[in-house]
Amino acid sequence: MQLSKTEEQLMQYLWKLDKAFMRDLLECYPEPKPATTTVATLLKRMIGKGFIDYKTFGKSREYFPLVKKEDYFSKQFKGLIKNFFNDSASQFASFFTRKTDLSKEELEALKEIIDAEIKNK
C-alpha cells in the first residue's frame, strides 16, 4: 500500500520525531498550518493502511511509525524502477547519471559505492 503526498509529508515528520502527539506533529508544519481535523483524518487513514499506530495517554494519543523510512523508500524506489525504467536498474542508472547535474566528484563517489557493492557480492 502507498501513502498519498499529504500522508507521506506527515509520515516524514513522524519518522523524524520517532513518536509524537498531535501538537508535536502540528508544530512541524510550516505556516499556514493545517487544521487539527485535517491531520487527524490523515492519521486515521495511515492507521488504517498499517503505517502507524498509537498509544493512549488519558485523552491524548502518541503516534509512532510501524514502517521504517528505509523500508518504505526501498519499496517506492523499486516501484519507480519497475514502472518508469522497464524494471531495469541499468536504465535507471543511465538516466540518473545523464539527466542530473552530478559533478565529476559525485559520479566518482557513486562509482566507488558501486565498486564496493560488486566486491561484496
**pLDDT at site 79:** 86
State pTM to two decimals: 0.77
Residue closest to 104 by CA, chosen among 22, 85, 112: 112
End-to-end C-alpha distance for the chain, whole angstroms: 31
**Statement: residue 67 has pLDDT above 90:** yes
- Domains identified in the chain and CATH numbers: 5-65 (1.10.10.10), 69-120 (no CATH)
Q: Mean pLDDT in the chain?
A: 93
Q: Report residue 108 as a C-alpha cell.
A: 566518482
Does residue 62 contact residue 20 with C-beta atoms inside 8 Å? yes
d(CA 34, CA 3): 18
- Paired with 64 in beta bridges are 53
